[in-house]
Structure formats: structure tokens, C-alpha cells
Structure 1
Amino acid sequence: MAIRFLVALFMLTSIYSLASASDPSPLQDFCVAVNDSQAPVFVNGKICKNPNQVRADDFFFSGLNKPGNTDNAVGSSVTPVNVNQIPGLNTLGISLVRIDYAPYGQNPPHTHPRATEILVLVEGTLSVGFVTSNPADPNQKNKLFTKTLYKGDVFVFPEGLIHFQFNTGKTNAVAFAGLSSQNPGVITIANAVFGSEPPISIDVLKKAFQVDENVIKSLQEPFNN
């Protein structure tokens, strides 16, 4: 597993060294982020730490070799390594995640509003896919691109599009993914639509999904407990 872990990180690092980041390009060597609670103003990103106070630990994270806890409703766990874990990622336009999947677990349909994602599978089997945005022709449907991944396979999810991963095997699966933002964000579709606070009006959801009120209530219930 250690060798697979290192290979995955090498692949992702190599790819991103050749790619253009979606976040603004840095104008200095680094801009280590200041903790939000200590920031005197709010900006689109993070305020820079005094370079004279920067240390090696500002560019370091430990623990990505440890599996996440998949004992939950969806059977997966995402371990992020973004600007909140490594302040030195600020302005560099990249981040990383480890995703663990229990047998038949999934990373449910979601989007990253600020990043493209490139995923490499290092253990197990995954069914993955993404759906295109609404087509210009109202007579056409959103198109699904889907693929079954095996150990060593790589798949790309374009920025902002709804995508998912599902463990189709009877054993655990592990993947690592690079994202083209220091803070890519995530919107899990079911959580956002059925578990928002305050809740979206049932009348709105009934019309949007073309279902009975009781169906909407049953879909909202797991997210409101």
C-alpha cells in the first residue's frame, strides 16, 4: 500500500506541475495563509503570513496514509489536504484528497464549484461518472460519461460538473485525487437540496422533481434528523 500511495502522489504532482491552475497565479514565492480567526479583513482567499515567520511546517501535512472512517450512511470518507490543512497552498492553485470507500460505498453526486478533479484509483474497483450541464437544445438531455476503474486507472471530472464514484466491489477501495484549486469547495447535491437550513419550500421541490409532497418529505427526513 505504501508503494501505491507514493506512486499516486507522484502521478498527481507530475500532472499538476504541467497544468494551469484555476486560482489566480501567485506574484511571489509563497503566500502562507493566516488563520481566518486572526485575519483583520476578509478577502477572496487568505491573507499572507509574514514571510519572516514562515516555517517548513506551513507546507507540511501528515496522515494521508491512514484510512478514513467509512462507517456512515454513504460508506465513504474524504480526507482533504487543501489550504485549511496546509497554509502554504495559499495562491498555489492545487489541493489533494484521499477517498476511502467501504464495499458498495459511494462518494455521492456532488460538484466542486472551483476545481477540476483528476482521480487515480490505487485499490479496488470504482464506477465513476459525470453529467454535462444543461444542453442548449431543450430537446436534448444532460449526457452521462461513465467508466469502470480498476487499480491504476485515472479519470477526470471537469470543473463544476456533477460527478460521483461508487465502489462496485466486495472489498474496500482507495483513491487519491488532485484538484485545481487551493480550496475547491464541494456541494453534495442531496444534502444541499433536501437538507438545507432553512429547508427549501416543499412546493418548490414538488414542482422541480414532479413528485408527490410525501415523497419530498421522505427525502428530506434523513437530512433533518
Structure 2
Amino acid sequence: MHFTTTVSVLILASLSNVLGVPTWSAPAVARAEDSGLSLTAKLFLADTAVDRFALLPDDKQFVFDFNTPQANPGKGGELVAANRKTFPALVGTGSGMAVGRIKPCGMNTLHVHPRATELQIVTKGRLVTAMTPENGVNKDGKRRVIQNTVTEYQMTPFYQGSVHTQFNPDCTDTIFVASFNSEDFGAGQVADETFAFGDDILGATFGQSLDGAEIDKVRAAIPASIAEGVEQCLMKCNIPKRSI
């Protein structure tokens, strides 16, 4: 015996009523008006783009000011990031941006962006950049390090998950603009993440090259996100070398 889809649904509905079994219904969706939600969360829950715009009634909510100082800048500079938390109008765009200022001899230490590729353009000064993409990217039998000196209005990509760094080799500030294909691109400083592990894991990773005392010394010396850098530059710019 064959039933049409409509008949089958009616029979199942009747059985559910007789047996006291609740019929299936779509799960309730939290409303954007729920109290306690951040504006970013409300924008995520909005049913349509039209509803998102209604949650942003002030035209000024569509402007992000990169002149706002970073809360905890590093000794070698600062980076101001526009992501979906700091700039809720980005929700739904799949994009983010950052503006960085690196002081003379400053270095943005080795880091990764876990959820985005970065396109970085230098707008003032120059940067020495370096990147290692992933396992298997080799040159002359060794892991390849892609290194360039990027000058004003030149751009370089840093691929999602790649380890990379930027260094200002000059005695004047360098400014760069970075775009990301994510509203929440994130960042992880490689040294800080590595030395957050226990001594047993670090010992197994580095073998005999570091003992326990040296691990603590290196861990304590990890710099902030953008830190003062290379000795030759410090000497050229008459910047006192910091002691560890």
C-alpha cells in the first residue's frame, strides 16, 4: 500500500495526538530583544539584514576610529583592531581590519591568525616581514621562510595559520593597515603560547637544548605583542638595550 506524503503526515499527526506524543516543531530561536545580550550577539540573532540595521540606529555606529589608543600597547608600538566585538557593524561582513604602529626598532613578534588570512599594506616607513606557511613548504631542503622588505604602499599576504612577524628596521615609526577575511580573526603569539606548556612538554619538544632553569628564564623574558627588537637597529637609533 502506498501513501502520499500528505496522507502520511496526517496519519502521523493523528497517532501523535492519540498516543499523547508531542508533534515535532521547529526549535525556538532566541530573540534579539532578549536582555543581557551584547549588541554583537543581538546582531547575530537578528532574523534578517534589515533587522540588523534596525539594531544600529545611529549612523556613527558605522564608523570605527583607529585613532583610539590601544588599552595595553607593547613597548615597541601598538595595534588597534576592528573586529565584530570592537566594531559590531562588522557582523555579517566576514571582514575585519587593524592598524598598527611600530616604533623604531620595534618588532611584532612571531604570531598566527587562527581564523583569517591577513593582507598587510605599509602606509608609512617600511617593514621587514617573514613567514613560514606550513609543513612541507621547503626550499633547498629546509623549511622555507618567505622574507621581504615591504615599503610604502606595498602589500604582502600572511596566510591563515602561518607563523609570521614584522620588524621596523628604521629610526622612525612605521604604520601599516591589515585586512582580514574574518570578523574574529584572532591572534596567538607563538613564544607565549609555546612556553605556556609545562616543563615536561617543553623538555620533550626541545630535547637537551633547554633545561628547567633555562625554560623559566626564556618564559620570563617573552616580550609583549610588539616588542623592541634587533640589536643593530637599537645601536643605530641610539635606543638603550633592555636587560632581561
- Residue 161 of structure 2 aligns with which residue? 160
1:60 partner letter: V
How far 1:203 moved relative to its partner? 1.7
Q: Structure 2 stretches of 5 or more lacking a match?
A: 1-31, 224-244
- Residue 58 of structure 1 is matched in structure 2 by 61
How far apart are 1:77 and its partner, in Å?
1.1
Q: Quote the residue 2:125 is aligned against.
A: 124
1: CA distance, partners of 2:33 / 2:190: 31
Question: 8 Å contact 1:114–1:184 — kept in the other structure?
Answer: yes
Match of 1:9 in 2: none
Corresponding residue of 1:203: 200
Contact 2:110 2:190 in 1 (8 A): yes
d(CA) in 2 for partners of 1:106 and 1:36?
Answer: 43
CA distance in 1, matches of 2:61, 2:154: 32
Distance 2:193 2:83 in 1: 22
User: What letter corresponds to residue 135 of structure 1 in structure 2?
Assistant: G
> Does 2:175 align with 1:179?
no
Partner of 1:38: helix, strand, or coil?
coil
Q: How many Å apart are 1:144 and its aligned residue?
A: 0.6
Equivalent pairs, count: 182
| C-alpha separation in 1, matches of 2:97 and 2:205 | 34
Give 1:202 shift.
0.6
Report the equivalent of 2:210: 212
Aligned CA distance change for structure 1 residues 95 and 179 (closer, same or farther; 3 Å): same
Considering only CA atoms, is the larger Rg found in Structure 1 or Structure 2?
2
Q: Normalising by structure 2, what TM-score?
A: 0.65
Q: Structure 2 CA distance, aligned partners of 1:146 and 1:36?
A: 50
Q: Counterparts of 2:74 and 2:90 in 1: how far apart (Å)?
A: 30
Distance 1:144 1:204 in 2: 26
Identical aligned pairs, as a percentage? 23
Alpha-carbon distance in 1 for matches of 2:222, 2:34: 31
CA contact (8 A) 1:80 1:96 kept: yes
2:45 aligned with 1:47, yes or no? yes
Distance in 1, Cα, partners of 2:106 & 2:33:
36
Question: Partners of 2:127 and 2:117 in 1: how far apart?
Answer: 19
> Is the 2:137–2:143 Cα contact (8 Å) retained in structure 1?
no
CA–CA separation in structure 2 for the residues paired with 1:35 and 1:191: 38
Distance of 1:125 and 1:57 partners within structure 2: 33
CA RMSD in angstroms, aligned pairs only: 3.2
Aligned twin of 1:38: 37
The Cα of 1:69 is off from its aligned counterpart by 8.5
* Aligned partner of residue 172 in structure 2, secondary structure: coil
Q: Judging changes above 3 Å, is the alpha-carbon distance between structure 1 residues 58 and 121 closer, same or farther for their aligned structure 2 residues?
A: same
Work out the CA distance in 2 between the residues paired with 1:163 and 1:34: 41
Please tell me whether the aligned partners of residues 131 and 161 of structure 1 are also in contact (alpha carbons under 8 angstroms): yes
Alignment partner, residue 14 of structure 2: none
Q: What does 1:80-95 correspond to in 2, within 5 Å? A: 80-95=81-96
User: Shift of the alpha carbon at 1:212?
Assistant: 2.4
SS of the residue 2:143 aligns to: coil
Whole-Å Cα distance in 2 between the matches of residues 35 and 127 of structure 1? 48
Question: Any stretches of 5+ residues in structure 1 without a counterpart?
Answer: 1-32
